[in-house]
Structure 1
Amino acid sequence: MNPSESFSVRDAVAASPLLRELARGWWLLVIYGLIAVAFGLFALFRPAAVVISLTWLFGVMALVEGVFAVIALFTGNHSISRGWQLLYAIASLALGILTVLDPAMTAGVIVLLLAAWLIVGGIYRIAFALRVRRHISGEWLIALSGLLAIALGVLFAMSPLAGLAVAGLWIGIGALLYGIVQLVAGFKLRKLVAGGR
């Protein structure tokens, strides 16, 4: 960044109360960034544990949603029929209880569903590549992506734990990148605040 650009940004921060307040909160971005980086690193080293923990949190959310749905049955106006609301409450409570009691099993079921989706999707891609091979070039890439999807689906089906680990790694990478962005943004805002004094 050249000096004129730096001056214009600082000038904008000084002139705008909103930007000034945002810049003063630079330390919040740094804290968020540190938490995200720590979570990301933990997820990279313990990916399956992170996915199971997140599944448990999902179960708690479903349980709370079910409780509120039951309360709504007996209070207030109903935008949908009581029958549908009761069904939703029962489904939320059942899913929440099962997930909280055994998050690993729920996560494993999700991985098996993902495995089935990958295998079916892979077969579809291969069939599509064979069908259009006379009309487009590079159809082998589509077929290759289908083969990779099938291989990944079979791996997940044979070892749901491996599927959990892969999902946890992706979550860890995403959290790590998010944390780094937050840290960079926070320290840049800190520079602007320091330069505006």
Structure 2
Amino acid sequence: MQSTAAPSMLRYLWIYTVVSGVLAVLFGVLIFIRPGAAIIVTAIFFGAYLLVTGIAQVVLAFSVRSSFGGRALLFISGAAALVLAVLCFINLSNSVDLLAIWIGIGFIFRGVATAMSAFSDKSLPGRIWEIIVGILSVIAGIILFVAPLEGLVALTQVTGIILVVIGVVEVIAGIRIRRESSFGPTARVRDTVT
């Protein structure tokens, strides 16, 4: 005999989904209203990330069995990350600028790679759109170099909007899960009648 009962955790899926959605909305609104605070918190985590990865790379440089060149690169990379981490913690605005430069470099590399691959492969589906995405990514990277704080604020506000949209969708999904599941309020009435 097979049981048609839902798994115990699945009964509460709608609650978790609604709570996750509400938290995403609140976090998104907070980020959109106070992007500066979100940037500072992110910059602090960025400094901590540089510190941890710097230490790990320096330790790895002395413990890995690799060529001298490989170990030297690990050591230089780790030492540079440690210097940048110290700069982040000495002055928080350094951390914000470094974060903007890091994101800007990422946008530029992604944009150039995307555009160049689309230019070189004439059979690529959606080739024009890939070229446009590549160009827009490069422009976004340049903006983050030219105006790091303003670029981060804009990026943060977009993130806030995305979180609000995702949160609203999660709340709706949670309500739909409860309504359409076999363990909502109508299911309890149906179970007591049978």
Runs of 5+ in structure 2 lacking a partner? Answer: 65-74, 189-194
Which of 74, 77, 99 does residue 110 from structure 1 map onto? 99
Partner of 1:152: 140
Partner of 1:46: 34
Partner of 2:174: 186
Contact in 2 for aligned 1:125/1:145 (Cα 8 Å): yes
CA distance in 2, matches of 1:121, 1:160: 18
CA distance in 1, matches of 2:12, 2:177: 8
Which of 144, 149, 169 does residue 161 from structure 1 map onto? 149
CA distance in 1, matches of 2:78, 2:113: 37
Q: Residues 111 and 30 (structure 1 numbering): CA distance in 2 closer, same or farther, change over 3 Å?
A: same
Amino-acid identity (%): 24
Which of 24, 28, 37 does residue 25 from structure 2 map onto? 37
CA distance in 2, matches of 1:81, 1:128: 34
CA distance in 1, matches of 2:78, 2:119: 46
Instruction: Give the CA deviation at 1:195.
Output: 1.9
Contact in 2 for aligned 1:47/1:167 (Cα 8 Å): no
Instruction: Give the CA deviation at 1:188.
Output: 3.4
Q: Residues 81 and 106 (structure 1 numbering): CA distance in 2 closer, same or farther, change over 3 Å?
A: closer
Counterpart of 1:49, as a letter, is A
Contact in 2 for aligned 1:118/1:149 (Cα 8 Å): yes
Instruction: Give the CA deviation at 1:37.
Output: 0.3
Q: Residues 156 and 188 (structure 1 numbering): CA distance in 2 closer, same or farther, change over 3 Å?
A: same
Runs of 5+ in structure 1 lacking a partner? Answer: 1-10, 70-79
TM-score, length-normalised on structure 2? 0.59
> Per the alignment, in what secondary structure is the counterpart of residue 163 of structure 1?
helix
Q: Residues 31 and 98 (structure 1 numbering): CA distance in 2 closer, same or farther, change over 3 Å?
A: farther
Partner of 1:196: 187
> Per the alignment, in what secondary structure is the counterpart of residue 168 of structure 2?
helix
CA distance in 1, matches of 2:29, 2:126: 38
Counterpart of 1:51, as a letter, is I
Instruction: Give the CA deviation at 1:194.
Output: 1.3
Q: Residues 116 and 81 (structure 1 numbering): CA distance in 2 closer, same or farther, change over 3 Å?
A: closer
Give RMSD over aligned pairs.
4.2
Q: Residues 36 and 146 (structure 1 numbering): CA distance in 2 closer, same or farther, change over 3 Å?
A: closer
Report how many residues are paired: 169
Partner of 1:177: 165
TM-score, length-normalised on structure 1? 0.58
Instruction: Give the CA deviation at 1:158.
Output: 0.8
Instruction: Give the CA deviation at 1:164.
Output: 0.7
